[in-house]
Amino acid sequence: MNRITSTAQRVLKQLRHDRRTMALLMIVPVFLMALVSWIFPQPVFDRIGLSMLGIFPFITMFLVTSIATLRERQSGTLERLLSMPMRKVDFIIGYQLAFAVLSLLQSLIAVGVAVWWLNLQFAGPKWMAIVVAMSVAQLGTALGLALSALAQTEFQAVQFLPAVIIPQLFLCGLFVPRDSLNHILQPISNLLPLSYAVDVLNGVSAQATLSSEVWWKFGVIWAFVVGCVVIGSLTLKRRSI
């Protein structure tokens, strides 16, 4: 436990020293939300605004985690940690915890601004919007960690964004409702984690009391998180070539 919390603290300290990154993490989602609210008439914003709140943390945490773990590999700190009494899963959960704190801050600000300034309307509880945004952020972190083993350079890591994230954006129901996708794309969409995040956020948008189907899909998001953590701990190697 101590190794998990100290790793989380260390990651947060690193980010705290990097004020510009912190500012970007907190302000960019708000800026994008505002932009979306100005582009679209209010009814459309009400429909997609909440989904956007879930998608920003997914993308930002995925990117930040990919680059941060790549830096750990390149600087040799990861190799050093794994030659010490550090369990691989401690390392991963430490990162998850750090980014949970960060995404809590991020989504508090984003939801606050969306609701009180941009007047985003949704039927479900406000805290659930934050919980889902945080869960999606956990998904981004776990996926970033699992995939970072495949990238040897920053250039490769950044390419994972169009390769892994953008297809999910197209298929998650943000642009086209998932049930009107054709019979090839719909099953693919069912396999992608972001689809479940958008389904849950659509539920929060429409239902004052969340249905069991929404809760079930919320569970699926966390199953993906656990799956990615397991894959991440398998792709993290103590011994390398």
Partner 1 sequence: MASISVRNLTVRRGHNVVLSDFSVAIDAGRLTGLVGPSGGGKTTLIRSIVGVQRILSGEVMVLGEPAGSPSLRHRVGYVTQAPSVYGDLTVLENLEYFARVLGLDNSRIPFTIDSVDLNHRATARVASLSGGERSRCSLAIALLGQPPVLVLDEPTVGLDPVLRRDLWALFRRLADAGNTVLVSSHVMDEAERCDTLLLLRDGKLLANEEIPSLLTRTGTNNVEQAFLALIDGAAA
Q: What are the residues binding partner 1 (CB under 8 A)?
A: 2-3, 6-7, 9-10, 13-14, 17-18, 75-77, 79-86, 238-241
How far is C-alpha 136 from the chain's CA centre?
4
Closest contact distance (angstroms) between CB of 34 and partner 1 is 30
Q: Which is nearer to partner 1, 10 or 126 (CB)?
A: 10
Q: Which of 140, 124, 230 is nearest to 194 (CA)?
A: 140
Tokens of 189: 């969409």
For the bound state, the minimum distance from the C-beta of residue 6 to partner 1, rounded and expressed in Å, comes to 4
* Identity of the residue, 19 or 183, whose beta carbon is nearer to partner 1 in the bound complex: 19
Residue with tokens 């990861």: 78
Q: CA-CA distance, 137 to 149, in Å (whole number)?
A: 19
Question: Please, which residue, 77 or 152, has the CB nearer to partner 1?
Answer: 77
Burial of 23 (0-12, 13-18, 19+ CB in 10 A): exposed
Between CA 166 and CA 59 the distance in angstroms is 9
Residues in the chain: 241
| Three-state helix/strand/coil letters over 67-97 | HHHHHHHHHCHHHHHHCCCCCHHHHHHHHHH
CB 235 within 8 A of CB 149: yes
d(CA 174, CA 168): 10
CB of 222 to partner 1, least distance (A): 28
Asked if 110 contacts 29 with a C-beta cutoff of 8 angstroms, the reply is yes
Among residues 42 and 77, whose Cβ is nearest to partner 1? 77
User: Considering the complex, what minimum distance in angstroms separates the CB of residue 39 from partner 1?
Assistant: 36
Smallest separation (angstroms) from partner 1 to the CB of 18: 6
* Distance of closest approach, residue 109 Cβ to partner 1, in angstroms: 23
**Which of 82, 231 has the CB closer to partner 1?**
82
Question: Which is closer to partner 1, CB of 226 or CB of 234?
Answer: 234
Q: How far is the CB of 105 from partner 1 (least distance, A)?
A: 19
Nearer CB in complex with partner 1: 20/183: 20
Tokens 């914003």, located at residue: 45
